[in-house]
Amino acid sequence: MFKAILLEESDGKVSAGLTELEESQLPEGDVTVAVEYSTLNYKDGMVLNGLGRLVRSYPHVPGVDFAGTVEESSHPDYKPGDKVILTGWRVGEHHWGGYAEKARVKGDWLVPLPEGLTTKRAMAIGTAGFTAMLAIMALEAHGASPDKGEVLVTGAAGGVGSVAVAVLAKLGYHVAASTGRAETHAYLKDLGAATLIDRQEIAEPSGRPLDKERWQGCIDAVGGATLACVLPQIAYRGSVASVGLAGGNKLETTVIPFLLRGVNLLGIDSVLSPPPERREAWARLVHELPMDKLDGMINDAKLADLLTLGGDILKGQVRGRVVVDVRA
């Protein structure tokens, strides 16, 4: 028997509870992992609250991320005792996830835990930090560099934003961090933000097709009107990496920034990121994310805490990274 958060559906309503399951109930897969830590992402909040039709069938164990130790394996790349990470691949959505003491998945979905990283710190990074690194890699591939001006990070106090600010600052970028929570200003400054932007300043487009060139690039976790406001302020041939939709999934804008300034709008998908890209991103995170800054982002939690935290993250009330010790 092992502990797990189990979601069940009745009359169209989804309920979540802490329960015990048997190993025989685990789904198919060639690697069984003793999960040590998981984490909480915005998508997890949606799944825990039955939103977005992300889960195909119930009962369901959520949790899109986990890290732990291989218990059993018929996959050629993994053996018992190996430390591994999983993010993405629709785990926690279409496939049972990491909010449990055991998980069974396809070995092809796993990444070996990089040397120098613990399973707890891996989950402090999680999908959010992994996505932030992919966004930075995309900006770099399209010409971003520390000598070209300021980079804006929206939703900066959240999971993606926190890691993005810390890594960009470590790489030498001048980082502008946007947040609507004044109480996070000291936290963001400590992560390396050079400038703080009130989110209301970029909450609505000006109505002009182009505004003054303000940022060389942006990592945007908000979407909606904020993204529409930012695009006309991106410098010539700058880029916006779009990673989230906390402010809405509709984008009402013009094509003028793309045509007259050569602005790039880069979609960042971490779920189906190919294995070579995954390994590169995790290797870079180990070296380019200051571990003391990462530790300062951590909010420790237990499985039972997720029943409340899943709603809090949807309301924007979670700062930094929630790390869930599934064994506690």
CA-wise closest residue to 52 among 18, 104, 85, 90: 90
Q: What share of the chain is helix, strand, coil (3-state, %, to 5)?
A: 35, 30, 40
Same domain, 15 and 69: yes
Q: Could you tell me if 108 and 135 lie in one domain?
A: no
Of 116, 174, 162, which is closest to residue 294 (Cα–Cα)?
Answer: 162
Say if 119 falls within a structural domain.
no
145 and 195 within one domain: yes
Q: Is residue 118 part of a domain?
A: no
What 3-state class would DSSP assign to 152? strand
Residue 290 placed within a domain: no
Total structural domains in the chain? 2
pLDDT at 263: 98
Residue 75 lies in a domain: yes
Note whether residue 276 is domain-resident.
no
For residue 87, tell me if it sits in a domain: yes
Low-confidence ranges of the chain (pLDDT < 50): none
pTM of the full structure: 0.93
**Confidence at residue 101, expressed as pLDDT on a 0 to 100 scale:** 98
Strands (E), the chain: 2-10, 13-21, 31-39, 65-73, 83-87, 102-105, 111-112, 151-153, 175-179, 195-198, 215-220, 234-242, 264-267, 298-302, 321-325
Amino acid at 83: K
Counting Cα atoms < 13 Å in the Cβ hemisphere of 111 gives 29
Which CATH number do you get for residue 56? 3.90.180.10
CATH of the domain at 161: 3.40.50.720
Verify that 97 and 178 share a domain, yes or no. no
Q: Which of 267, 282, 307 is where one domain is finished?
A: 267
Tokens of 159: 């999971």
Shared-domain flag, residues 206 and 238 = yes
Spatial separation of the C-alpha atoms in residues 278 and 280, rounded to whole Å: 5
In 149-207, at which residue ranges do the beta strands (DSSP E only) sit?
151-153, 175-179, 195-198
The verdict on 107 and 133 lying in the same domain is: no
Q: Are residues 107 and 207 in the same domain?
A: no
8 Å CB contact between 324 and 123 = yes
Q: Examine the domain organization and report whether 237 and 302 are in the same domain.
A: no
| Full domain range(s) for residue 16 | 2-113+297-325
Q: Are residues 142 and 185 in the same domain?
A: yes
User: Of 274, 291, 231, 224, nearest to 252 (Cα)?
Assistant: 224
Asked whether residue 63 falls in the same domain as residue 174, the answer is: no
273 domain-assigned? no
Residue 214 lies in a domain: yes
CA dihedral (170, 173, 177, 182) positive or negative: positive
